[in-house]
Amino acid sequence: QKEVEQNSGPLSVPEGAIASLNCTYSDRGSQSFFWYRQYSGKSPELIMFIYSNGDKEDGRFTAQLNKASQYVSLLIRDSQPSDSATYLCAVNTGGGNKLTFGTGTQLKVEL
């Protein structure tokens, strides 16, 4: 079982719709969860992090965490073509400061 799993996609949504990206993790000791956006040819950019169960909102982005189900998600409201990128889920593992990344979900927002 992979430590951090994501559907590779591509996930296609129309402009203005809500994009829902999902991630599951295996280490129950993980405390912090991150979403990175990576445009083609660029380095990952941190867009959200969450450490408590529930929702955390920042602009059009909402991160959701359910530690009992070992599940974290990212919702993007009013999706724009500029949101088209690969979204990487990362989890701190091993009780320390290391991050383990999922393989990423490619999001395509279509006009």
Residues near another protein, by CB under 8 A = 31-32, 34, 36, 42-46, 49, 51, 88, 90, 92, 96-104
Compute the distance between CA of residue 24 and CA of residue 15 in angstroms, rounded to an integer: 26
3 state SS of 9:
coil
- Beta carbon nearer to another protein, 23 or 109: 23
Residue placing its CB nearer to another protein in the complex, 14 or 52: 52
The least distance separating another protein from the CB of residue 104, rounded to whole angstroms, comes to 5
- Report, in Å, the least distance between residue 64 CB and another protein: 17
Measured from the CB atom, is 1 or 111 closer to another protein?
A: 1
d(CA 26, CA 37): 22
**What residue type is 11 in one-letter code?**
L
Residue number, 62 or 92, with CB nearest to another protein: 92
For residue 57, the minimal CB distance to another protein (Å) is 17
Give the whole-angstrom CA distance, residue 66 versus residue 35: 15
Tell me the C-alpha to C-alpha distance, in Å, between residue 44 and each of 59, 84, 93: 19, 14, 19
